[in-house]
Structure 1
Amino acid sequence: MSTEQSGGMNDNDRSITGFVMISHAVVHTYELSIPILMVIWLAEFGVGTAILGTAVAVGYGLFGIGALPAGVLVDRFGSRELVLVCLAGMGGSFLLLSIAQGVWSITLALCVWGIAASIYHPAGLSLISTGVEQRGTGFAYHGMAGNFGIAFGPLITAVLLLFFDWRVVTTLLVVPSVIAIAYAITASFDEKAAVRADGGTDTDDPDPDDGSPTSLSGFVADSRALFTFGFTIAILVVMMNGLFYRGTLTFLPDVLSDFLPDVADQLQLFDPDSPMAEEFDPASYLYAGLLMVGMAGQYVGGKLTDRIPTETGLIAIFGSLAVVAVLFVPAAEAGMTSLLLVSAVLGFLLFSLQPMYQATIAEYSPPGDRGLSYGYTYLGTFGIGAAGAAIAGYLLELTTVMGTFVGLAVFPALGAVLAVVLYRYGTRRV
């Protein structure tokens, strides 16, 4: 009886799952620690939100743009080695950040991070699909680990900043990648175990002329076949999510600080003249809490994909996000209780979108091109979506915080409209 039938993960499954879980958590730990550090960079380097937002958008953009070539490299060289390159590159980028002297060196370090991080999702998801026989369980644990990094990365960064200078903190943040690399080197697993268990073979190298996505002609042909009307609209939906996600989260710690009272001073948590009092920023902890609520959003959104048409879920969530974006500043100004409530709702809705659009992509793409379809998905979410950071930065300089949130509300509003179009005119392929 196979592990799929018996319902248990074998040793190979567990080894791969452990590897991708720690790697996925590290990727998102770095990704969401950057907005916390931006609050300090804005003050230390005397740059505006537009300039710093553009610099960060370049790094975040490479995080998505690199997904397509990374997918091709995974097919050529395997996942383990490329994930190791990813982890080493991300650790090295934070070492570069620790010696940054201005916005240009920050941009360079974040470019290194973006290129390295872009390797992970194609490599990690491919490794689960080819090596883990209990794929569903593997994907579930993989997603949970990513959520852990998303929620606790900013929290860990904020806590470290209480005790250390930001340059020391970025150096300490190299440690997670070192731990992940050490685990990968000692872990033993078969990348193709699930393929062989399903009756496939991995003994032959891919033929560069066989029309597969590993050749340029195959990539172009598969891409043309993939982009039906329904899939194109689905990718546009993904882009709207990415633009709002990155635009909202990038400057949120800095924005939240405008609405929060000086809790440390009121409660006399620290000596007013101590370094900890100077570094304590309650906005960073509210931001981390918002991301933790997002874990519940991921769970609920995933459950809903099995119960309602994903297009209906997208319409409801995008529409709700547009309303929350418009109401965010008035609610934040109304008092602490309403600020906490609107922040929790924002985090819940923002992350409930992810399983919904991931399931939608699956429904509008053929199984044989699923890897390529998710390559385009990450290009839209992290690549094009990275422009949201620059857009938010410019809006904050040109208008008020209220104007910025109203401007960003355009993206979920368009997402809801596109989801309606998809519901009415799209043709599913599974």
Structure 2
Amino acid sequence: MNREFRLNLYLSYSHALSDIMHIVFGLTLYFVSEDLNLSILSMGLLYNTASIFRGISGFASGILSDKSNFLYWIILFAGLSSVGSWIISYSSDLNMFSIGVIVLGIGSGIYHPVGTSAITKYTLNTAKSLGYHSLGGAIGIALAPWFFINISSNYSWELSYFIFGILTLPIILIYIDKEIRNLKSDLKPPTEKSIKEINYKKVTPIFIYASLKDFSISGLFLMLAVFVNELTKESISDISDVDFYTSLISSVIILFGGIGAFAGGYLDNLKSRKKILLYSCLIAGIFFIVTTNNLYFTIIVFTVISFLISSNDPSLGNWLGNTMPKNLHGTSFAFMYGLGQIIGSFSGSLAGVLLNYFSTTIYFRTLSLPLIAASIVVLYLYKNTENKKNIASK
């Protein structure tokens, strides 16, 4: 295996576990809320808080990774995530559970800006590498419903977190690979002049687009398992194992996100990028609007949404990567990820309020608004950010 393939393999596994950490709260929500006697509003506010910590963590680690070996941050991500998972597994009250969720949020927040910037810095075929990276993440979150829901249902939600903490530890073995440990950028260090040439007017629309998208995708995955579980109970009266079917349906929906990301990695180029960014969010937003209480129609709608939202991940990564100099990729991805997590965290508060006063379908329909707004941002503010140096290097 060549160095780039191994790097993609390491980071795809890390991405899989990191993405699981982003949705595990929603997957175990109805088990934990029932066991600890917590309302959806309380759980939503806790999710909001933990995600803010995740965003701050991602912001800090991304900036610092530009000034140090990115592997140190990958190892810290694995360590804190394992500790957070184990604290949750031993929780017997809200206080301990909250501490564990926040520690897990801090740990999981480290990965995305560090891992994604490592790909844009150290891979030759960046679009395909981002596609593999997104596929790895989607495979992880596709397996997550089956793993967490079934273990929580048949054994306990505490055990599911304990096992997950063990699965996170092997990530630290990446440090053993000497070639990866000594990885250097294939570009010369940028000059002061190149840093001054950053066009922040071009960067701002990227951050806005990513934040709007993250709000909707965070909201979808937060309440996906709960909604599917409710609809399955209502639609199939003689079903013997609701939780198993909930995990299966959720996994299929999320898996199509991985397929979308993989396809997006192959389709992304300078000519197609704006169309991918525009139409993926616009059509996904329209599909959110038609959410109903029909189980089978909901499966189709959410599957399409999952595919479309994830299909623009490689395009979004390249849009930002081509806008910023490589020495600032960690910082730029930190801004994008950190803002996305902080803004996306408020989908938890939104869920608590709308489910308390209205309905789950109203909540999902509301998630259409950020996606439609994101498509408007691309329509009017997207610029071709591929600079001449990048074109020449290819």
Q: Give the conservation status (yes or no) of the 8 Å contact 1:16–1:189.
A: no
In structure 2, relative to structure 1, the CA distance for the partners of 1:366 and 1:253 (3 Å cut) is same
User: Which of these residues, 213, 234, 237, is aligned with residue 241 of structure 1?
Assistant: 213
Does structure 2 retain, via aligned residues, the 8 Å contact 1:158–1:285? no
Question: Which residue in the other structure is 1:393 paired with?
Answer: 352
Match of 1:191 in 2: 181
Unpaired runs of at least 5, structure 1: 1-8, 213-220, 269-276
CA distance in 1, matches of 2:358, 2:212: 22
Q: Is the 8 A contact 2:270 2:384 kept in 1?
A: no
Amino acid at match of 2:138: N
| C-alpha deviation, 1:15, in angstroms | 4.3
Query: What are the Cα deviations for residues 202-236 of structure 1, in whole angstroms up to 9, with x where unaligned?
Result: xxxx9xxx979xxxxxxxx96x9646333212211
Corresponding residue for residue 390 of structure 2: none
Residue of structure 1 in register with 2:101 after alignment: 110
- Could you list the structure 1 runs, at least 4 aligned residues long, displaced by more than 6 angstroms after superposition: 262-265
Instruction: State the one-letter code of the partner of 1:418.
Output: V
Residue 216 of structure 2 corresponds to residue 253 of structure 1: no
The answer to whether the aligner puts 1:228 opposite 2:200 as a matched pair is: yes
Measured in 2, the distance between the counterparts of 1:427 and 1:143 equals: 23
Hey, what does 2:149 align to over in structure 1? Answer: 158
Deviations 1:135-169 (A, max 9, x none): 66654443332222121122221232243111122
> Take 2:235 and 2:369, find their aligned partners in 1: how far apart are those partners?
34
Is 2:34 aligned against 1:39? Answer: no
| One-letter identity of the residue aligned with 2:255 | M
SS of the aligned residue for 2:238 comes to: helix
Other-structure match for 1:271: none
Going from structure 1 to structure 2, the CA distance change for 1:366 and 1:85 (only over 3 Å counts) comes to closer
1:337 aligns with 2:296: yes
Matched length: 387
Contact 2:134/2:262, CA 8 A, preserved across alignment: no
Alignment of 1:253-402 (within 5 A): 253-261=225-233, 266=238, 268=240, 277=241, 280-306=243-269, 308-329=271-292, 332-333=293-294, 336-367=295-326, 369-402=328-361
Compare CA radii of gyration and give the structure with the larger one.
1
Q: Secondary structure in 1 aligned to 2:37?
A: coil
8 A contact 2:131–2:266 mirrored in 1? no
- Aligned residues with identical type, % of pairs: 16
Partner AA of 1:67 in structure 2: G
Tell me how far apart the structure 1 counterparts of residues 119 and 58 of structure 2 sit (CA, whole Å): 17
Q: Deviations over 1:243-283 (max 9, x none)?
A: 11111210121122221137897255xxxxxxxx5x83522
Amino acid at match of 1:341: I
CA contact 1:247–1:390 (8 Å) conserved in 2: no
User: C-alpha distance in 2, partners of 1:283/1:325?
Assistant: 20
State the TM-score, normalized to the length of structure 1. 0.79
Q: Check the 8 A contact 1:318/1:412 in 2, yes or no.
A: yes
Aligned to 1:404: 363
- Aligned match of 2:385: 428
1:66 equivalent to 2:57? Answer: yes
Q: What residue in structure 1 maps to residue 70 of structure 2?
A: 79
Q: 1:22-41: per-residue Cα shift (whole Å, max 9, x none)?
A: 22222223322221111212
> How far, CA to CA, are the matches of 1:146 and 1:399 in structure 2?
33
